[in-house]
Amino acid sequence: MRKLVSLFAIAAMILVACACNKQDQPDEGAKVSDLQYLLEGLMRTDEHGSVTGYMIGDNLNPANPYDISVPVDNFEEAVELFMTLLPPDAAVSRDATSVTWDMTDGDGRPDGKAVLKKNEELGAVASLTVTPLLQASGPRKIPSVTFLPPILWPENAGAAEEILNRDYYVGAAVWKEKDEGFGKGEFLVIQEWTPKESGIMIQMVGSGFDYSGGRSAASTLHRVHKALKANYDLLVNDYGKAHNWPSLDRWFSSSTLGFLREYYVNLENGKEDWFYSIPGNVWLVHVYCFKPDGDKIKFW
C-alpha cells in the first residue's frame, strides 16, 4: 500500500495515507528515477506491472496500456497538467511551443527527456514524448500522452457516469462495503471524476503508522493537496470538524525520494521543499481513486 504523510504545525503530527498509487518503500536515502516518478504520476500498476488505473485521462488504445489520452481545452491547460507530474526540483526549460524536462536516473545522472510539445496533427492539442537514454539498464516501459480537444473525446454514456454525478460530488459521503486494498466504510469525496483526472476520496482512520508497504508518490500528494486547498472550507473546516479530523492547515509530505528525505507541501500557501526527519505522532488515512467503468464504479 502507498501512504501519504502530513506534517502538522507545532505538534508536528504526520498524516499517513494508504493511497491509490502503490509504491514499494525505497531504501534509506534512495531516489527513484525521474521516469519512475513520471509513471507513478500517470498511472497505478500492480505487483506484476499491469496497469490498474490512470491518474489523468484514460487509455483509448487497449493494445498499449502505456498510451494515455487526456482532454484539454488548450496548450496552456496541457502544460499546467504536465507540471503536476514533475518533482519540485525538476530541470525544466520552456519556449512558446514546448516544455522540456531533463530527466535523471536514481543516482542523479542524465537519463533522457520528457518533452511536451504543441501537436496539431489529427486535431490534437499537444503530445508528451519520453525518450530515456539507451544506456539505461533493464527493460523499461515508456509512457506517451496525447492531449486532445474535448470534441474528440469519446462520450461515456454508461450508467456509472450517472452514479458519479448523483453520489460522488465534492463533499459527498460514500459508504464502501468492500475493501479493495485501502479500507472500507465511509469516505469523503475530495475530487470529482472528470475525463481529465480521476476522482479521489479519503477516509480518516485514526492513529496508526506502518512503513512496511511504502507511501504515496508526490504526484498523488499534489492531487490530494490541490483538492483540499480548492475546497478547504467544505472539506476541512466543515466536514473535518464534524468528523473530528486533525488540523490539516499546515503540511503534507511524501517519501517518494527517500526513506528519510521527505517532500512537503504547505496547504495554506503552496510552498514546496524537503525535510529530513520524521515526527512521531501520526494519523492513518485511506485514499481511493475512482472512475466510471461501464455500469459500475472502478476503484484503485
142-158 confidence digits (pLDDT tens): 899 999 999 998 876 56
Burial class for 82, CB neighbours closer than 10 Å (0-12, 13-18, 19+): buried
For residue 261, pLDDT over 70 is answered with no
Instruction: Taking residues 162-190, report their average pLDDT.
Output: 92
282 versus 159: the higher-pLDDT residue is: 159
pTM of the model: 0.82
Instruction: Taking residues 31-47, report their average pLDDT.
Output: 84
Q: What is the pLDDT of residue 192?
A: 95
Place 6 in a pLDDT band, splitting at 50, 70 and 90: very low
Please, what is the average pLDDT of the chain?
A: 78
300 versus 100: the higher-pLDDT residue is: 100
Q: What is the pLDDT of residue 20?
A: 66
263 versus 123: the higher-pLDDT residue is: 123
For residue 50, pLDDT over 70 is answered with yes
Q: Are strands 98-104 and 110-118 parallel, antiparallel or unpaired?
A: antiparallel
Of residues 208, 261, 267, 266, the one with CA closest to residue 3: 208
Instruction: Taking residues 37-47, report their average pLDDT.
Output: 86
**Percentage of the chain surpassing pLDDT 70?**
69
Helix 218-230 vs helix 34-42: crossing angle, to nearest 10: 40
Q: What is the pLDDT of residue 242?
A: 83
Lowest-confidence pick of 43-52, 151-160, 194-203:
151-160
SS3 140: coil
The 8-class DSSP code of residue 152 comes to G
Place 198 in a pLDDT band, splitting at 50, 70 and 90: very high
Q: What string of DSSP letters covers 201-270?
A: EEEEEES----TT----HHHHHHHHHHHHHTHIIIIIIIIHHTTPPP-SSEEEE-TT-SS-EEEEETTT-
- The 10 Å Cβ neighbour count of residue 194 is 13
Cβ atoms of 214 and 25 closer than 8 Å:
yes
Distances (CA, A) of 255 to 25, 92, 176: 8, 22, 28
Q: What is the pLDDT of residue 125?
A: 96
Instruction: Taking residues 195-208, report their average pLDDT.
Output: 84
The grid cell for 204 is 480518516
For residue 230, pLDDT over 70 is answered with yes
Start-to-end CA distance of the chain, whole Å, equals: 11
The grid cell for 186 is 465511509
Distances (CA, A) of 92 to 97, 115, 269, 277: 14, 10, 22, 28
Instruction: Taking residues 113-126, report their average pLDDT.
Output: 91
Bridge partners, residue 113, by sequence: 102, 131
49 versus 24: the higher-pLDDT residue is: 49
Tell me the pLDDT tens digit for each residue of 68-86: 999 999 999 999 999 988 8
**Percentage of the chain surpassing pLDDT 90?**
38
Q: What is the pLDDT of residue 69?
A: 97
Instruction: Taking residues 159-176, report their average pLDDT.
Output: 91
For residue 171, pLDDT over 50 is answered with yes
Lowest-confidence pick of 45-49, 156-160, 163-167:
156-160
